[in-house]
Structure 1
């Protein structure tokens, strides 16, 4: 009888744990988006999936990101837009637990170098729309994806990784085949 009761309670405990994880992930997504809008790059990197730093050290990544957001005479302004956050179900895999989030993001790039903005306006982006707003302003707007991962690399806490199409090559080097295959399925379900 005790075994039967335990078998009945186990799915309830798992469901409760996954619901708690979903709340944590949703809060963390809001935090990361807030840090990004404020351009607090180091705080975003503190929440980033650690294996990414095997490709590029954290300090180098921080410097490169800060330069990209404010270098080359370009000023980046993240617009306040409705986030429209949609989360996939929290998915337990063999050695990891993952969840994929899709959200809206819009930013304005300002520069007096109109030729540079013209070049950026012609860039093809899969998940974003690039539009010239004025001679000195460019808007990049679209859907972005963030993958939440909990595994041995994260010390069983949630860490995050950009999961946009532009990041596919890097993500292939960082993610296990099991996580990659599951994340592809979650992204297709969120479209």
Structure 2
């Protein structure tokens, strides 16, 4: 009986230790992903991205898309480094994969190259389409500042050698549903 109790205590300790290490590595990797995005360091962004994404959009194509999105004829976007104030959901094990929802503060500026005639309606559009918490417009610089909580979906599985990699959660979960089945979507509440 004493042996069974000792075995159970050891098993419980090991489980708690593994989960603590998992969360510690998740926090470290989430910060790396955040810093890579803010600094627009494509190599680091790609290193922290869930690799199956590149089966859908090759890295060179993604780099080109990012470049066009961040700077084009109409506007330029810059990500502003702020305290991310991460909040981590429960780590869920589904079909041999680990998942965790990671929410964080995300701030960007969007500077338009032509003067804005109706900045107020743009503020409302940004609030709705980006689910932004706060949008301000600086008429002098023709720049919007957009503040929101964003979500990364962390994934660790055989493909990532059980290292945490990330997907940006979009409104309709389009990218996630291209990579994972309906059972996983449902289990994560997506």
Q: What TM-score bracket applies, with the shorter chain setting the length?
A: 0.7 to 0.9
The residue aligned with 1:70 is 71
Which one of the candidate residues 145, 167, 189 is aligned to 1:184? 189
Q: Sort the Cα spacing of 1:30 and 1:91 in 2 relative to 1 into closer, same or farther, 3 A.
A: same
- Equivalent runs, 1:114-129 vs 2, <5 Å: 114-115=115-116, 121=123, 122-123=125-126, 124-129=128-133
Runs (5+) with no aligned partner, structure 2: none
Q: Give distance in 1, aligned partners of 2:158 and 2:92.
A: 16
Q: Give distance in 2, aligned partners of 1:28 and 1:175.
A: 21
Residue range with higher mean Cα deviation, 112-121 or 145-154: 112-121
The residue aligned with 1:93 is 94
Higher helix share: 1
Q: Give distance in 2, aligned partners of 1:117 and 1:92.
A: 48
Q: Give distance in 2, aligned partners of 1:178 and 1:10.
A: 29
**Deviation >4 Å, runs of 4+:** 1-4, 115-121
Q: TM-score, normalization: structure 1? A: 0.83
Contact 2:102-2:153 within 8 A present in 1 as well: yes
Q: Give distance in 1, aligned partners of 2:76 and 2:99.
A: 34
The residue aligned with 2:135 is 131
**Offset from partner CA, 1:5-25 (integer Å, 9 cap, x none):** 333322221221111111111
Runs (5+) with no aligned partner, structure 1: 186-191
Report SS of the residue matched to 2:62: helix
Q: CA RMSD in A?
A: 2.5
Report the number of matched residues: 184
Higher-Rg structure is 2
The residue aligned with 1:14 is 15
Contact 1:108-1:138 within 8 A present in 2 as well: yes
Q: TM-score, normalization: structure 2? A: 0.83
Q: Give distance in 1, aligned partners of 2:150 and 2:158.
A: 26
Q: Give distance in 2, aligned partners of 1:16 and 1:92.
A: 16
The residue aligned with 1:188 is none
Report SS of the residue matched to 2:61: helix
The residue aligned with 2:179 is 174
Contact 2:73-2:113 within 8 A present in 1 as well: no
